[in-house]
A and B are shown apart, each in its own frame.
Chain A
Amino acid sequence: MRGKYEIMINSTLKMLSGDLAAGKVSAEELAKQYLQRIDALNPQLNAFISLDHERTLAEARAADARRARGEAGVLTGVPLVHKDIFCQQGWKTSCGSRMLDNFVSPYDATVVERCAKAGLVTLGRANMDEFAMGSSNENSWYGAVKNPWDLTAIPGGSSGGSAAAVAARLAPVATATDTGGSIRQPASHCGVTGIKPTYGVVSRFGMVAFASSLDQGGPIAQTAEDCALMLNVMAGFDARDSTSLERAGEDYTRDLDQSLEGLRIGLPREYFAEGLSADVARVIDDAVAEFRKLGAEIVEISLPNTELSIPAYYVIAPAEASSNLSRFDGVRYGHRASEYRDLADMYEKSRAEGFGSEVKRRIMVGTYVLSHGYYDAYYLKAQKIRRLVSNDFQDAFRECDVILGPVAPTAAFNIGEKSGDQVQMYLSDIYTLSVNLAGLPGMSVPAGFDGQGRPVGLQIIGNYFAEAKMLNVAHRFQQVTDWHTRAPALSSD
């Protein structure tokens, strides 16, 4: 058992799927092994908010029964972790907030439903920045998540728990969400692969809303191939989400092995300007060199409004969030203050107690920018800049097929290093925000390490619906590099 376990934990989705199909391992055994590993290693990482072994094993047994009936799909029996932002019936769905600490969801998100339908087994619920607001996972009511590569470093955010769990091999795959970089940045900081699809590809139904016009779900896994397999499960039209796009289903693995000969890769000048650390620049340069070897053509492009994406994002996202989070009032579910004078007092205390400081700040920023007399100067202005940012990409995609660049200016910083300085934290989102503003797909692929041994990811940005192309680019890169196979050394003591 022990020997098998060691093999298993470094397995990709693809391998596990094959082993399950070949009967080398059962879903129940697999789930037990992962749970054992989680129990041993999670205390030092804090990557999970909820675990429920009984429920997990019941799901696993159901997957095995399904396989016995001959009804198994590709991923039936494969374990996964859901970011605690996806409502899952019978599981606490806290979204990293005290506000929802007592909230057991009575319904399933579409993503959860689709994963269940595919037969994936829920290992637990991943820690995250409260309401997905943050880039360091320090804003969780359940405490910070530690980076498995260096326990003094942040794992990135907001999907820090998802990325850390996959990096530490506590799960082969995790669901995540990305509003301004929340899949790509933690994937980059934890040395795993993550993709945020085109806005509208993955249903938002049941995904606790942060900024509705920016939020998009996606997977984090070890490899691009695994991301493609997982995207096959997560993506698809959903009539319950008015922003879900009615498109024919896609097989995201279809182009994985395509040659990159003649592929035009755009390097945005603005992504390599001041602010990018030397370590990250070196990693990206090396990656670009690999792509040259693979036959790609490198072109310099410009995304002139990149810097403006920061203020535009920090108006639009808080504005939408301020409204989205109004439902948390302690009336129908969620935290209600224990003492209050009257209705207004109940609202104000419940919300002041239930929300953490970053969430409150963003709600207040959003409330202000939408308030009477300020709407045009802030919200409308930001929407116009959003258009400019989006136009930049369309101009760029006339010159290249995909865009490569850094995910973040540096590798993971230390826990506590920036937590007192919101603006420094916001500025570090510079390479990821514009993708959300434009609604484009973006991904992060492990590409190296900084001087301290912390992982550095390479960002791939594609045009709308170019996921299969991006996964192809990432997959070919992963066939000639081994960054994605590196796992942090963790011991249970």
Chain B
Amino acid sequence: MKWEVVIGLEVHVQLSTVSKIFSGSSTAFGAEPNTQASVVELAFPGVLPVLNKAAVNKAIRLGLALNAHINRKNVFARKNYFYPDLPKGYQISQMDLPIVGPGTLTIQVGEEEKVIRVTRAHLEEDAGKSLHEDFHGATGIDLNRAGTPLLEVVSEPDMRSAEEAVAYARGLHTLVTWLGICDGNMQEGSFRVDANVSVRPFGQAEFGTRCEIKNLNSFRFLEAAINYEVERQIELIEDGGRVVQETRLYDPDRGETRSMRSKEDAHDYRYFPDPDLLPVVIPESEIEAVKADMPELPAAMKARFIADYGVSAYDGNLLTASRDIAGYFETLAKVSGQGKLAANWVNGELAAALNRDGLGIAQSPISAERLGGLIARIVDNTISSKIAKEVFEAMWQGSDSADAIIDAKGLRQITDSSAIEAIVDEVLAANQKSVEEFRAGKEKALNALVGQVMKASKGKANPAQAQDILKKKLGA
């Protein structure tokens, strides 16, 4: 049987506020345990929550970026359950009236675009952390993270493969960092993904039973976890079993998902509007102010890059993966006047070098302006693309301009016909076998000869010129 995969994602976006969602405690990461837990986070008797304006503002930003409806009146509710890292015995969240209503996010999968519907996004507080090691059989509770503002972004089950799910998660990650509402640090848990995965026979309208894989903190784990879970569910069904709706945890060491037994207790969260908090009313003026303050969004910028610089949709997507990349690209395209070439360099050589050295584009040793100098030399035929890579390496290691390196290393392309002719003559003399093969009709032999000319010229001969001269000499 052919199976269709159905995926919906719930992403917990940690909002980058300096203080917590309901108190003036710091949200800084990595402090000593419980040193950033005030009476509010500790849920001392009598304490009350007061909502952080910045959290609301950041939620509106994302809502507008998702073309979503902003609920002018939204309400906080209590989600009641007992857990030691949840000090009040309830989490303040939003249920019936979340701040952000339905919206969409367009993702790029290969050369295809797909619109994923976002159901809602709601504000809530994070829980603390349970530490299970080193306490002679006890669990230690650190409430520093408790009360950190989260925006939970819930998608419709619109994704049909792990690849699409990753594209959506990446797209959302791009958006929240682009908007400056989240630092995007997945290792520190600033962007956590829960995946709802189910399978159904192709053509079936009803969804299959889903499992929720919790707390995936990298795109790689997200992809691996979904792929594992899909296989598991298909195998289970094909073996005559049934998928049980449950929460599962991905174990990256084993590369598998497993059931979270401790959370199997049927939960009854007893949601009700939090009487300590009144409805949040967002005036039109506030929305207009946020709108006015919005940067050009990745989707708009991508469209502009395609139109103005002639880049492909695929490249456009990569170039708008972050504001830094987009900014770098646009500077490069402008100084060089070469959109496509700039795109190739940013997504190719530069991306590879940054990746190799574990750097972000903001830390790139080669500025867009300096890289522009290199592209200019390719365009005016001073160097070949191949030599350009060598120059790029030298630029990466030092601070010289492309021109300085080309001159110092004598890498200028040989375009003087007589000089190339001399090299061609040498090559023809030394490679009689290839010459004969070519004459016998083996076209490929010409490539070998061009290669020899390039080699003999240490890559500096203009390859097109070399080929023309070779052909002429061989009487072709």
Contacts and interface: CB of A to CB of B under 8 A. Distances in A.
A375 B273 CA distance: 12
A323 B43 contact: no
Contacts of B207: none
A375 B89 CA distance: 19
B46 A241 contact: no
A467 to B, nearest CB: 22
A331 B141 contact: yes
B39 to A, nearest CB: 5
Contacts of A323: 78, 80, 89-90, 270, 272
B30 to A, nearest CB: 22
Nearest to B267: A372
B272 A109 contact: no
Interface stretch (A13-21, A100-108, A140-148, A218-226): A100-108
Nearest to A94: B45
Contact of B276 (A93, A100, A242): A242
A249 to B, nearest CB: 20
Given A243-B278, A320-B275, A332-B42, A204 B80 contact: no
Contacts of B281: none
Interface stretch (B47-55, B155-163, B183-191): B47-55
Interface in A237-251: 239-243
A332 B87 contact: yes
Interface in B89-123: 89-90
B44 A87 contact: yes
B82 interface: yes
Contact of B45 (A208, A242, A243): A208
Contacts of A367: 270
B46 A239 contact: no
Contact of A205 (B47, B87, B141): B47
Interface residues of A, number: 44
A242 B46 contact: no
Contact of A107 (B39, B43, B84): B39
A117 interface: no
A130 interface: no
A209 interface: yes
Interface string B249-288: 0000000000000000000101110011110000000000
A343 B82 CA distance: 10
Interface in A198-229: 204-209, 211-213
Interface in A315-367: 319-320, 322-323, 325-329, 331-333, 343, 347, 367
B88 interface: yes
A118 interface: no
Contacts of A242: 48-51, 276-278
Interface centre among B44, B49, B78, B139 (most CB of A within 10 A): B44
A81 interface: no
A327 B80 contact: no
A354 B44 CA distance: 16
Contacts of B80: 322-323, 326, 370
A36 interface: no
Interface string B393-416: 000000000000000000000000
B275 A205 contact: no
Contact of A327 (B43, B50, B51, B278): B43
Nearest to B42: A332
Interface in B45-81: 45-51, 78, 80
A371 B268 contact: yes
Given A239-B50, A327-B87, A370-B80, A213 B275 contact: yes
Interface of A: 86-87, 93, 95, 100, 103, 105-107, 109, 204-209, 211-213, 239-243, 319-320, 322-323, 325-329, 331-333, 343, 347, 367, 370-372, 375, 379
17 contacts: A86-B46, A87-B44, A205-B46, A212-B275, A240-B50, A241-B50, A242-B49, A243-B275, A319-B272, A322-B270, A326-B82, A328-B45, A332-B43, A333-B44, A347-B82, A371-B268, A372-B270
Interface of B: 39, 42-51, 78, 80, 82, 84, 87-90, 139, 141, 268, 270-272, 275-278
